[in-house]
Amino acid sequence: MQPVDYTTLVAICDSLNAEYIPSRLEQVYQCDRTSISLCLRSLKKKSWLTIAWHPQAARICIGNAPPRKKDTFTFSEQLRHLISGYALIGVNIVSEWERVVDFQFAQRPNETPLYHLYVEVMGKYSNVILTNAQQQIITVAKQITAAKSSVRTVETSQIYQLPPPLSGNTPKIDESFTDWQETVNLIPGRLDKQLIKSYGGVSPTIAKELINYADIKLPIDNYQLTIDEWKNLYQQWQKWLMTIQEKNFYPHTTSSGYSILSPVDENVPKEDLHQIINDYYTKKIDQEKFQQLQQQLKQKIKSITKKLQVKADKYQDKINQSKHSEIYRTQADLLMANLHQWSIGSDAITLNDFTTGEPIKIDLAPDKNAIQNAQALYKKHQKLKRAKDAVKPLLEEVNAEINYLQQTLNNVLQLDNSDTEDFDTLAEIKAELISQKYIEDNQHRQTNNNQESQPRAFKTPSNFEVLVGRNNRQNDLLISRIATDYDLWFHAQEIPGSHVLLRLNAGDIPGEKDLQYTANVAAYYSQGRESDQVPVIYTKPKYVYKPKGAKPGMVIYSNQTVIWGKSSEFMNS
């Protein structure tokens, strides 16, 4: 993830000073554990300023309005109590080449600041600290005690101290070409890394951009550069420093992130600085949250399924053993019919089977007579028979749970965060697993019905709509609320997969291409996605039933027709 570097921070502060100084702080809201939103009202507009101390996405930018839910964080409560209603009169970087921004708050514009909100944009060391005019820390986003750091502590009541200054050289616009080249070329190594090591304030993004603008191809070591390449790079270096000095930035998105330096291609449009920063980090954080939640659910479902499979195997073993119950009854019948052949102290007896006439060896207890041995065999028969009757419904119940979890796992694996609905769908799957008692989460809150995710939608060759359930809630909705008598319901045969609905009106007759397309969709959104062909069934929604007490997304069906679905054709369509 691209970090907010010093150059970007200068551009942000310049923009905020131009547009939001002075402004009134109307509201403070903490979105999560690593970010707050400040509502600023200037003479011209009202905006939400995002301040984040996320380890990989620390940033300052005008961002989205926070979600409408209760704020229970202590840090934001303290900020609201102390600085809400105050005027923001300045946004300044505390010293050159340092990524620490001082937000100054006073009772009115043009008055002396009474509070300073220091925002340290420093990767995993990022923090937000509120001090009074005497630099005494009042509250802090992350307390840094002596146990956590031996270099610098950040705790309430102590005097605020800036982070340790940068060691080594800092870029200077008046530095000569010879001195600059000697500094960068002092230690042999890869050019971009040596630029970063030689000068503080040079981020990996800036180093690579300057090298690219100088028309130098990476990877390359510093000692491999020609004198002309050195001069071209120095020229870009000077241009970069002049951009910072004159604050002449050119924000624009790139293939890997964003840039605020003038691009080589003059056709690249200039964009809103805050918009591209907000969009970039919002997308990256959403991807990170999605991957974490997806991995969490995958591991949890697989772990539960594994335990249930062990239980199912045990039940199956008992049922397999119960198949011997008839053998024990036959042996008991033979023994009772041949009591005269038994002799005292016998540990076995061989008798001919009633039906086949084949000899059968029957093990006996020497301390029991023939009748007692027969009674013991009858008891074994009855015990195994009762075990089968008792275990069979338990096995069916466990297998139903396994099928449900496999279906749910398929739903999780089919999501790839390709659109905004996918994360909401994943959150709904977690909520479902919590409601089904597979996951414990005392802090979970039911999602707002107005924000529920929606099924995927596609169009067949004849422009009929195809709806695909993303999770079990949507799968149930497709049958219970959305489907009409004219629609067709599709599902991969006997394997986990999404419910797929081909929407039709009265009189519509889908062609073979429409049926095949829908079958291909059902195959793609099933566990058989990687197979060349997947058997897919389709039927009228009225033939699809949800058994009483069945888990979400689980149905039975009848009057089905089988068609072969090809997921590869859908992928290439």
List pLDDT tens digits, range 21-51. Answer: 999 999 999 989 999 999 999 988 999 999 9
Do 56 and 200 belong together in one domain? Answer: no
Does the N-terminal peptide bond of residue 393 adopt cis geometry, omega within 30 degrees of 0?
no
419 in a domain, yes or no? yes
pLDDT in tens, 219-231: 999 999 999 999 9
In 3D space, the residue among 567, 560, 481 whose CA is nearest the CA of residue 531 turns out to be 567
151 in a domain, yes or no? no
Looking at per-residue confidence, does 435 or 325 come out higher? 435
Among 240, 271, 302, the domain boundary falls at: 271
Do 306 and 445 belong together in one domain? Answer: yes
Do 406 and 317 belong together in one domain? Answer: yes
430 in a domain, yes or no? yes
Query: Residues 287, 292, 297, 302: is their CA dihedral positive or negative?
Result: positive
What average pLDDT does range 322-342 have in this prediction? Answer: 84
The dihedrals phi and psi of 36, each to the nearest 5 degrees, come to -130, 160
pLDDT in tens, 523-548: 999 999 999 999 999 999 999 999 88
Do 311 and 440 belong together in one domain? Answer: yes
Q: What does the pLDDT read at residue 259? A: 95
Do 29 and 101 belong together in one domain? Answer: yes
pLDDT in tens, 97-121: 999 999 999 999 989 999 999 999 9
The dihedrals phi and psi of 340, each to the nearest 5 degrees, come to -70, -20
Do 444 and 474 belong together in one domain? Answer: no
Do 441 and 458 belong together in one domain? Answer: no
355 in a domain, yes or no? yes
Do 441 and 488 belong together in one domain? Answer: no
Do 420 and 517 belong together in one domain? Answer: no
pLDDT in tens, 428-477: 999 999 999 998 875 555 544 446 889 999 999 999 999 999 999 999 99
Among 271, 303, 331, the domain boundary falls at: 271
Residue 357 sits in a domain of what CATH number? 1.10.287
Q: What does the pLDDT read at residue 294? A: 94
Q: What does the pLDDT read at residue 447? A: 46
Q: Which domain holds residue 97?
A: 6-140
Among 435, 451, 467, the domain boundary falls at: 451
Do 459 and 426 belong together in one domain? Answer: no
pLDDT value at 267 more than 70: yes
> What is the residue-averaged pLDDT of the chain?
92
Q: What does the pLDDT read at residue 442? A: 57
What average pLDDT does range 61-79 have in this prediction? Answer: 92
The CA distance from 499 to 518, in Å, is 11
Q: What does the pLDDT read at residue 440? A: 83
pLDDT value at 172 more than 80: yes
DSSP state of 464: -
CA 301 from chain centre, in angstroms, equals 15
Do 258 and 125 belong together in one domain? Answer: no
What average pLDDT does range 237-244 have in this prediction? Answer: 96
How far apart, in Å, are the Cα atoms of 106 and each of 24, 143, 305, 525? 10, 25, 59, 58
Residue 236 sits in a domain of what CATH number? 1.10.8
DSSP state of 451: G
pLDDT in tens, 366-416: 999 989 999 998 888 888 777 778 888 899 899 999 999 999 999 999 998
pLDDT value at 245 more than 80: yes
CA 362 from chain centre, in angstroms, equals 62
156 in a domain, yes or no? no
Q: What does the pLDDT read at residue 448? A: 47
Q: What does the pLDDT read at residue 449? A: 44
pTM of the model: 0.77
Do 58 and 95 belong together in one domain? Answer: yes
pLDDT value at 244 more than 90: yes
Q: Are strands 258-259 and 87-93 parallel, antiparallel or unpaired?
A: unpaired
147 in a domain, yes or no? no
Number of domains in the chain: 4
pLDDT in tens, 385-397: 777 788 888 998 9
As a three-state string, the secondary structure of 510-541 is CCHHHHHHHHHHHHHCECCCCCCCEEEEEECH
What average pLDDT does range 476-502 have in this prediction? Answer: 95
350 C-beta neighbours (distance < 10 Å), count: 10
319 in a domain, yes or no? yes
Structural tokens at position 513: 């291409």
439 in a domain, yes or no? yes
